[in-house]
Copies of this chain bind each other. A is one copy, B any other.
Amino acid sequence: YSPLVDLTLRLGDDALVLSQRLMEWVASAPVLEEDVAIANIALDLLGQGRMLISYAGSIMSPPKSEDELAYLRQAREFRSSHLVEIPRGDFAQTMARQLVFSTYQSLLYAELTHSTDATIAAIAAKASKEVRYHLDHATQWVLRLGDGTDESHERMQAGLDVVWPYVDELFDADSGVEVYDGPQTDEKLRPLIDAGVCPDFGALREPCIDQLTAVIETATLTVPQTKWHARGGRRGVHTSDLDFLLAEMQSVHRAYPGATW
Contacts and interface: CB of A to CB of B under 8 A. Distances in A.
Contacts of A247: 247-248, 251
A154 to B, nearest CB: 23
A243 B252 CA distance: 10
Interface residues of A, number: 11
B257 A248 contact: no
A243 B74 CA distance: 21
B244 A74 contact: no
Interface string A226-251: 00000000000000000110111011
A247 B255 CA distance: 9
A254 interface: yes
A248 B251 CA distance: 8
A246 to B, nearest CB: 8
A251 B250 CA distance: 8
A250 B257 CA distance: 14
Nearest to A254: B254
Contacts of A74: 255
A257 B257 contact: yes
A74 to B, nearest CB: 7
A74 B255 CA distance: 8
B244 A248 contact: yes
A78 to B, nearest CB: 13
A247 B245 CA distance: 10
Nearest to A72: B255
Contacts of A254: 251, 254-255
A250 B253 CA distance: 13
Contacts of A244: 248
A243 B255 CA distance: 12
A247 B244 CA distance: 9
A195 to B, nearest CB: 36
A74 B252 CA distance: 10
A6 to B, nearest CB: 22
Top 9 closest pairs, chain A to chain B, by CB = A247-B251, A254-B254, A247-B248, A247-B247, A257-B257, A254-B255, A74-B255, A244-B248, A251-B251
Given A254-B255, A257-B257, 4 more contacts: A74-B255, A244-B248, A250-B255, A251-B251
7 contacts: A243-B251, A244-B248, A247-B248, A248-B248, A250-B251, A251-B251, A254-B255
